Structures are given as C-alpha cells and as structure tokens.
A and B are shown apart, each in its own frame.
Chain A
Amino acid sequence: MKSLKKITTVLIVALLGFAFMAFVFPQEQKKGGSWDIPAKYKKMENTYAGDKSLLKIGKMMYSKHCKSCHGSSGMGDGSKAAQLETFAGDFTSEEFKTQVDGILYFKSIIGRDEMPNFEKKISDDEDQWAVIMYIKTLD
C-alpha cells in the first residue's frame, strides 16, 4: 500500500515536471540551415521565364500544394506552419528574392527534411516553374 502511494507521488511529480518543462524550453521554430545544392541545379534556368500567363497557374498550384505551410502571402504562416520544426521561410524577404531560379527550383521542387519533394505531385515542368514564378511575385 505504501509503495503504491510512493509510485503515485512519483508519477504526479513527473507529470508536473513535464508540464513545467513546456514553459522552460523555447517554443520557437529553428531556422533552416544552409542548403547543399548540386551544381546542375544552380545552373538551371527557367525555360518559361517571361510567360506571364503562367502566374495564374502558379497561383493555383501554390494554393493547392504550398499555402497550408507557407501561408497565403508566403510569410511562412500557413495553417500547418506551427506544426513544423523548421520555419517555412519568408518569400517576401529580400534574402529570398536574390536567389537564382535554379536554387529556388531545388528548394521548392526537390526539397529536404520537412520540405517535401514535389517532383511527382507537380509532375509537369511548366507547372513547377509556374509555382516558382508565382512565389517570386509575393511581396
């Protein structure tokens, strides 16, 4: 009987401990580290650049595939963003916009870790570039 009391006390203390830990550890998401991008992607060029009609397609694709994490305006504040361990990025920032198309392609379509691969979900290269062209317009 005495040992049961002890176990109960230990369990209560452990539970309270876990609850307090939630306040101790920072809840902020980590920023994604630097990307290791293969040379062939760095050199990759958008063969559809200049085709403004693709922006509408890009917006459709973005809404369907990207918005839930990256947010409507690309600030990384979508409805699922809070569940991510890594910040989803701010597409409106200057830092983002200075990246060349090939790098954006690798980050958006090939992905890594929590950023999924979209080569099959968005299988057509025209649609892939349409998304990249659209996210570059976000400000």
Chain B
Amino acid sequence: MKKKLILALAMLFSFGLVIAQDDEGKKQKKDKPIRPMFESGILIDGQTSVIPIKNTLEMHIQHRFGVIKDNGASDFFGIYAPSANTRMGLNYSLRNNLMIGYGITRKNMYNDFQVKWKFLQQTRSGSMPVNLAVYGNMAIDGRNKSVYGDDYTFANRLSYFGQVIVGRKFNGWFSMELNASYTHYNAVKSDEVNVKGYEHDIIGVGGHMRFKFSPQSSILIMYTAPIFIEGMAENQEVMNTWYSNLGIAYEVATSTHAFQIFVTTANGIIPQDIYMYNTSKWTETEIRFGFNITRLWNF
C-alpha cells in the first residue's frame, strides 16, 4: 500500500515536470491560473495548496471533540468530552503565492509559525497541469518546563514539519491533492538512548479530495499515513505507535467563510503532532467530530 502511494506521488510529480519541459521554449501568451481548487487553506487536518490572494488575512478556528464511542450518549458522543482540542490561527498572504501564519493549539500549547509557498500554479489552458506548493512550520511546545525534566533547554520545545503538496483541479466538481512530508521533533521520550525510545523523525504521505456537488457545498476526504522506514530508525525498540488519519467532511462556503464539519481520527491539529502522536485508529472507529471555520478579510 505504502509503495503504491509513493509510486503514485512520483508519477504525479514526473507528469508535471514532463509537461513543463514540453512547454519550455514555446512563446505563450500569459495564461490565467485555474480557479481555486478548494475553498480554504486547510482541509480537515491537512494543508491545501490554496493561498488566498495578496493582502488577505485568513482566520482559522479549528476544533476537535472527544472520541464518539468512548462515552457514547453520556458526553453527547464526544461533543462535551474534556479531551477536546482547539487551534486558533491567523494567516496573511504577502503575495498571491506566499502566505505566513501563526496559531496556538490547546494540546501541548503549541505555538506554530508557518509559511506556504505555491511555486507552480495550474493554468486554465492546461499549460501547467498541477499546483505545486511547499508548506513548512515550526512549533514551540508551550507547556511548563517541568514536562522536560532536569536537562531542559528551549530547543527541546521545538518541532518542525515540511511538506510538498501537488494538486490538480480536474474539473468543477472534482479536485485532488497528494502530499509528502517530513516531521522532526527535537526532543522525544526515551527509556534508553538509541535502544528503546520514541523516534525524532517520521516521513508521511497523504491525500485530499473534493467532490463539489453544488455551488456552495462539497464533500471532502482527507487521508494521511506515517511511513516508518526501519533502516532509518534510531532505536532498536521503537516506542511510537503511528496510526494513519482519515477524515470526511461536509463543507459550505460563502463569499468570505468556509465551514467544514467532519469526522476525523486524530485529536491533534498541527500536522507534526498528527503524524507523530496520533493514537486513534479509524479502523477501530476511534473517530471524533470536529469543525473548521475559515474567515477571510481582504485589504
């Protein structure tokens, strides 16, 4: 399965490159970029290649409730569970293809600083068949020092996430993205260094799909999978339990808002936390309700 995913990703990348080379040298009139393939820069738990136009302030409110099946009706299927997680963030588009942002998440009080750059833009004529974007963030774990034990340094709080996103809007009702990512945590728990402990790094792949069935409404699907490569392992006995993350959403978009209501697997919101520390398995229906609200202001 993982090999197939990597192969599919590689094919999509190479397709884009081949087209780009074919067009090289041809003098073309300025082509228009395709209309946005998604309504928001986020899709359930993932980042899309979408960046609002220059000088747009984008506010995100992201919320994840508790696991639906844990207490059933007694906490209204997780909606009133104490384990809920929230992130509030602001992004600003410096250019039509460059965005910076900052957000705070309840879990671990992560303070994340992010940047997204879309360096290839799918065009309406098809001269560029895909969107290609890179996304990166650095998060600071904002919990008390005591969490880190005696040998505390500020660097222990830091984690990093880098991702390449390739996407294509196939037509008005169907869009798809694939992504590949790398997550790094500066400090992880370890029973015995290099023998038994958590890994600092993990590779991941994922995908997003949108089925737009009316001018304002869509069904969204998101899937991400950590890929553990044994040859890269630091520890002889790895303590991580990496699980994939699946989410299905209903989205309504208006002129300045996008609302996504969904079921998803992970409790985390920032991507490195989801890839590294998701402890819920969708195969065992450990799923939860959640929502994302995106609000745009143009300046």
Contacts and interface: CB of A to CB of B under 8 A. Distances in A.
B216 interface: yes
Contacts, number: 30
Contacts of B55: 120
23 contacts: A56-B172, A57-B35, A59-B215, A60-B172, A63-B214, A63-B215, A63-B216, A64-B215, A64-B216, A64-B253, A64-B254, A64-B255, A65-B254, A65-B255, A68-B254, A68-B255, A120-B56, A120-B298, A121-B255, A121-B256, A124-B32, A124-B35, A126-B32
Interface in A96-139: 120-121, 123-124, 126-127
Nearest to B256: A121
A57 B35 CA distance: 10
B251 to A, nearest CB: 12
B238 interface: no
What secondary structure prevails in chain B residues at the interface with A?
Answer: loop
Interface size class of A (residues with CB under 8 A): 10 to 19
What secondary structure prevails in chain A residues at the interface with B?
Answer: helix
Interface of B: 32, 35, 53, 55-56, 172, 214-216, 253-256, 298
Nearest to A118: B255
Most chain A CB neighbours (cut-off 10 Å) among B55, B216, B253: B216
A121 B298 contact: yes
A64 B212 CA distance: 13
Contacts of A120: 53, 55-56, 298
Contacts of A59: 215
A62 B214 CA distance: 12
Q: Closest 3 CB pairs between A and B?
A: A63-B215, A120-B298, A65-B255
